[in-house]
């Protein structure tokens, strides 16, 4: 009689406290739907509300979609490596709810959390404490992958091609606007892009053609972060994206081109109006395509990323000069999102891509757990 193989319990975390809460829900729904069709997995939905409360189970997705404020139940994930499970608690006391069935031990977490507190190392740090394998980059890679300014500083140090930029603290902008404007106009020429240092899905990003638009763009960016980035705009470009998959030996997909429905690929062009188009593979000379893929892998390794990342580029039309824009460590994950579409065009289906990501997470955790976490000194000097 054959032994029944235990299902892998996959906790899919979504929602979160960021401007990309809604995008995360859509991505997670797609991921959970695909995983549920695979008999190898038991999917456990884990939702985080906009005010940071955790819920789990079948109702989690519908409750977050409805924007529910009052929840019938609440869960926590203890940062305790001996637990590795969600614990249902009473709302007021945070004590384990009596007589309530708790979830079994989680085998792996698939964070589909875009933006702050989900993509920036925060949730990754908690999962490290809990010693639960998780899909994607670790604390360091997630943190530097989220901060556009730190990214650029590391890319520049590594000799990777980037556009000119300036950055400053939001406090300086609020305190002395003329100084900031002079700094920008001295270093860059219009048009420029204004961005919060830590955001995704083009939230808070503006394209500015003159000083009036610059002031409006900086005001908008300052709503979302304590640091603001201003980048040099480049005319006549192709927006190119590459999907990277792997841990220490990553692979790059074929490049794809985004044809934005608006002047640039903003939030509406990405998710709302449905008019943006993707050309996969991108129409590029073979040499340019190869250079872009190699640069994507270099960026992935420079930031010490793991699992997955989408790497975005600007490519000058005619000369095909490459500018590395940024990486996204938890890119959109619907079946029509660029990351899975790029891998599908490279020969890896959506379902197999999810399989691969989960295996990469389990492998990385297994390797990490082999490392020593203690040291035995020659004498018990500390007692």
Say if residue 236 carries a ligand binding annotation.
yes
Residues in CB range of 244: below 8 A, 6 or more apart? 250, 251, 252, 253, 296, 297, 300, 305, 308, 309, 310, 311
What's the DSSP call for residue 228?
A: E
Say if residue 346 carries a ligand binding annotation.
no
Q: What angle do CA 97, 103, 104 make, to 5 degrees?
A: 135
Catalytic residues: 20, 201, 337
Say if residue 38 carries a ligand binding annotation.
no
Say if residue 234 carries a ligand binding annotation.
yes
Residue 375 neighbours by CB distance under 10 Å:
5
Say if residue 239 carries a ligand binding annotation.
yes
Say if residue 17 carries a ligand binding annotation.
no
Can you tell me whether residue 317 is helix, strand or coil?
Answer: coil
Say if residue 101 carries a ligand binding annotation.
no
User: In this structure, are residues 343 and 355 in contact, taking their beta carbons and an 8 Å threshold?
Assistant: no
Structure tokens at 323: 């500018």
Torsion of CA 113, 276, 294, 249, to 10 degrees: 30
Residue identified by tokens 């943006």 is 276
Say if residue 301 carries a ligand binding annotation.
no
Say if residue 198 carries a ligand binding annotation.
no
**DSSP assignment of 85-138:** S-EEE-TTT-PBPTTPPPPPPPSEEEE---STTTSSSHHHHHHHHHT--BSS--
Say if residue 69 carries a ligand binding annotation.
no
User: In this structure, are residues 167 and 225 in contact, taking their beta carbons and an 8 Å threshold?
Assistant: no
Say if residue 171 carries a ligand binding annotation.
no
Say if residue 231 carries a ligand binding annotation.
yes
Annotated binding site for ATP: 148, 193-195, 201-202, 231-239, 325-326
């Amino acid at each position: 009689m054959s032994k029944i193989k235990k299902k892998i319990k996959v906790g899919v975390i979504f929602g979160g406290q960021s401007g990309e809460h809604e995008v995360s829900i859509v991505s997670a729904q797609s991921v959970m739907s695909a995983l549920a069709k695979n008999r190898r997995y038991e999917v456990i939905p884990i939702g985080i509300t906009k005010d940071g409360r955790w819920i789990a189970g079948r109702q989690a997705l519908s409750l977050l979609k409805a924007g529910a404020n009052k929840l019938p139940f609440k869960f926590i994930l203890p940062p305790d490596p001996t637990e590795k499970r969600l614990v249902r608690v009473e709302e007021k006391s945070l004590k384990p709810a009596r007589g309530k069935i708790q979830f079994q031990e989680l085998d792996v977490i698939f964070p589909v959390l875009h933006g702050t507190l989900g993509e920036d190392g925060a949730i990754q740090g908690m999962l490290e404490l809990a010693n639960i394998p998780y899909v994607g980059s670790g604390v360091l890679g997630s943190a530097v992958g989220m901060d556009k300014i730190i990214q650029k500083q590391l890319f520049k140090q590594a000799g990777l091609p980037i556009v000119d930029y300036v950055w400053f603290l939001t406090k300086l902008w609020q305190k002395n606007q003329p100084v900031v404007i002079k700094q920008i106009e001295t270093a860059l020429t219009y048009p420029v892009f204004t961005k919060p240092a830590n955001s995704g899905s083009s939230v808070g990003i503006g394209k500015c053609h003159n000083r009036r638009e610059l002031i409006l763009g900086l005001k908008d960016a300052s709503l979302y972060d304590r640091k603001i980035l201003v980048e040099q705009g480049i005319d006549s470009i192709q927006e190119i994206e590459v999907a990277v998959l792997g841990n220490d030996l990553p692979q790059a997909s074929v490049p794809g081109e985004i044809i934005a429905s608006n002047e640039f690929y903003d939030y509406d062009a990405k998710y709302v109006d449905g008019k943006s188009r993707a050309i996969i593979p991108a129409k590029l000379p073979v040499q340019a395509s190869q250079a872009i893929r190699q640069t994507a892998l270099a960026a992935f390794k420079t930031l010490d990323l793991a699992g997955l990342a989408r790497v975005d580029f600007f490519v000058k039309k005619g000369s095909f000069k490459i500018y590395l824009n940024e990486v996204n460590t938890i890119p959109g994950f619907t079946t029509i999102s660029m990351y899975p579409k790029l891998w599908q065009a490279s020969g890896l289906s959506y379902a197999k891509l999810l399989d691969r990501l989960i295996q990469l997470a389990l492998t990385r955790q297994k390797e990490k757990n082999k490392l020593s976490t203690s040291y035995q000194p020659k004498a018990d000097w500390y007692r």
